[in-house]
Amino acid sequence: MASLSESAQRLTERIIGTWTLCSWTRLVDGVEEPGLLGRDALGQIVYSADGYMSANLMRRGRQRFATDDLIGSSDPLERAAAYDGYQGYCGRYEIDEAASVVLHRVSISSNPNWTESVQKRFVEFIGQRMQLTTPPILRDGKKAAVVLIWERAK
């Protein structure tokens, strides 16, 4: 039987790298629904060996702004659609091997409520894929666990 420190090292070694999103769903009362940005959302999460992480996710087929100006758009509806179709955050991370959990200590986020928060993710490796599951998160008045499946970027 492996010691706890060997198990923690294995999880730490397995999580490091760049991962591409395969699927994003949520479980509401045991029923699977599409994730916030749709079942076919695009995403990438990176865990560095020095303890930093970055996650960027977006709705597939997001509409481009009408202009290439760096500001993007002055149209509030166009800007709202862009914000609604994207989620990103970064910061430090810690692994709790005993609980099979990674804690994202968010320092910067597209969602202002997540800045300076700790986001808990249960980690499970299924073959070559990594599953990150949240504790229940509130969306549209319903609490549900969010399930993200990732595979190593190629």
- Locate the domains of the chain by residue range: 4-152
pLDDT value at residue 8: 44
Q: How far is CA 21 from the centre of its chain?
A: 9
114, 120 Cβ separation under 8 angstroms: no
Name which CATH class applies to 4-152.
Answer: mainly beta
Q: Which residues of the chain have pLDDT under 70?
A: 1-9, 70-72
115, 105 Cβ separation under 8 angstroms: no
93, 11 Cβ separation under 8 angstroms: no
pTM score, whole prediction: 0.86
pLDDT value at residue 53: 98
Q: What is the pLDDT of residues 99-133, one digit of tens each?
A: 999 999 999 999 999 999 999 999 999 988 999 99
63, 79 Cβ separation under 8 angstroms: no
pLDDT value at residue 70: 65
pLDDT value at residue 72: 67
DSSP state of 99: G
